[in-house]
């Protein structure tokens, strides 16, 4: 069984700045990282590989420099890394992105090995939509299990799995047939760190590049042309000035009481 992990190269949002004049992202000098939620999806795929002997392929759609993120996945131990990169893929919203990723997964399933699981982070830190994983599942006709914080069972013979989903105020235990698409949360695991030999090997390992000549998708349905979503404006919201509360260390108990009172006044704490 083949497990596919979908990862994305994203700007490090801890260093992102907004131009106060144009209200656009300042991209110059911003480092790129693997989407943090995707690191947990990748780790889950590799844990299942260790436990059940599955093969793991990793997909990423992005510009040529996203190869660096795929090499990080190779250094962690994946079997195959594929970059989906073509100018016609550019400017894609979540609808068009899920179409390209689903097409690549279908190609792997039909030509390489049956895909049993697709793993994605619950969302990306640059878009925060949480739509791509479910979009892939819908296009492929896979079961979709979102917000997974534990993979409890995987029965390769019966082709079923049991997972725990982290919902608001509760957990849900779900059994599902395979193939399935999982979006995962940080609590699922701790990402593994590659050894020095694995990092060195990843530097010369093959990263495949699939363009639209490989996937053969209608250019009108992908990239900017296939994206009905338009971002009209990016801006920094206005912030109220902060307020100094209490007398600090001179009266710590009184300061805490006053702080709690003000938080409750603003409905930031339950009464």
Over the stretch 176-229, which tens digit does the pLDDT of each residue have?
999 999 999 999 999 988 889 999 999 999 999 999 999 999 999 999 999 998
Please report, for residues 56, 106, 257, the alpha-carbon distance to residue 250 in angstroms, rounded to integers and kept in the order given: 58, 65, 14
Nearest-angstrom CA–CA distance, 194 and 205 = 14
Give, as one character, the DSSP assignment of residue 2: E
Nearest-angstrom CA–CA distance, 244 and 253 = 15
Q: For the structural domain made of 2-221, what CATH number should be given? A: 3.40.50.620
First to last CA, the chain: 52
On average, the pLDDT of the chain sits at 90
Instruction: Specify whether the CB–CB gap between 143 and 137 falls below 8 A.
Output: yes
Nearest-angstrom CA–CA distance, 271 and 179 = 45
Decide if pLDDT at 67 tops 60. Answer: yes
Q: Give mean pLDDT, residues 231-248.
A: 69
| 204 Rama class: left (phi>0) / alpha (psi -120 to 50) / beta | alpha
Whole-number pLDDT of residue 223: 94
Q: Give mean pLDDT, residues 58-81.
A: 96
Strand partners, 148: 165, 184
What b/e sequence results for 189-228 when a residue is b if at least 16 CB atoms lie within 10 Å of its CB, and e otherwise?
Answer: bebbebeeeeeeebeeeebeebebeebebeeeebbeebbe
Residue of higher predicted confidence among 113 and 24: 113
Q: Give mean pLDDT, residues 142-162.
A: 96
Phi, psi of 74 (to 5 degrees): -65, -40
Two tokens, residue 159: 């082709």
Nearest-angstrom CA–CA distance, 58 and 182 = 14
Q: Under 8 Å CB-to-CB from 50, ≥6 apart: which residues?
A: none
Q: Would you list the domain boundaries of the chain?
A: 2-221, 240-271
Whole-number pLDDT of residue 148: 98
Whole-number pLDDT of residue 76: 95
The model's pTM is 0.83
Q: Tokens 């962690």: give the residue.
A: 76
**Per-residue model confidence as pLDDT tens digits over 116-144:** 999 999 999 888 899 999 999 999 999 99
Q: Under DSSP, is residue 167 helix (H, G, I), strand (E, B) or coil?
A: strand
């Amino acid at each position: 069984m083949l497990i596919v992990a979908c990862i994305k190269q994203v700007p490090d949002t801890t260093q992102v700045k907004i131009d106060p004049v144009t209200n656009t992202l300042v991209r110059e000098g911003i480092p790129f990282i693997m989407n943090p939620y995707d690191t947990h999806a990748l780790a889950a795929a590799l844990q299942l590989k260790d436990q059940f002997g599955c093969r793991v392929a990793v997909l990423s759609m992005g510009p040529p420099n996203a190869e660096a993120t795929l090499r990080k996945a190779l250094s962690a131990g994946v079997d195959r890394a594929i970059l989906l990169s073509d100018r016609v893929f550019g400017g894609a919203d979540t609808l068009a992105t899920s179409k390209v990723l689903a097409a690549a997964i279908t190609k792997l399933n039909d030509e390489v090995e049956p895909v049993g699981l697709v793993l994605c982070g619950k969302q990306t830190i640059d878009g925060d939509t949480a739509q791509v994983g479910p979009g892939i599942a819908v296009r492929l006709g896979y079961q979709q299990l979102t917000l997974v914080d534990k993979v409890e069972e995987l029965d390769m013979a019966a082709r079923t799995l049991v997972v725990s989903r982290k919902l608001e105020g509760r957990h849900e235990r779900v059994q599902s047939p395979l193939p399935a698409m999982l979006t995962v949360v940080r609590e699922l695991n701790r990402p593994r760190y590659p050894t020095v030999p694995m990092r060195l090997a990843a530097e010369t390992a093959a990263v495949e590049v699939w363009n639209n000549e490989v996937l053969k998708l209608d250019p009108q349905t992908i990239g900017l042309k296939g994206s009905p979503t338009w971002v009209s404006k990016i801006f920094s919201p206005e912030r109220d000035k902060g307020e100094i509360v209490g007398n600090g260390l001179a009266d710590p108990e009184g300061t805490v009481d006053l702080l709690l009172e003000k938080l409750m006044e603003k409905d930031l704490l339950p009464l």
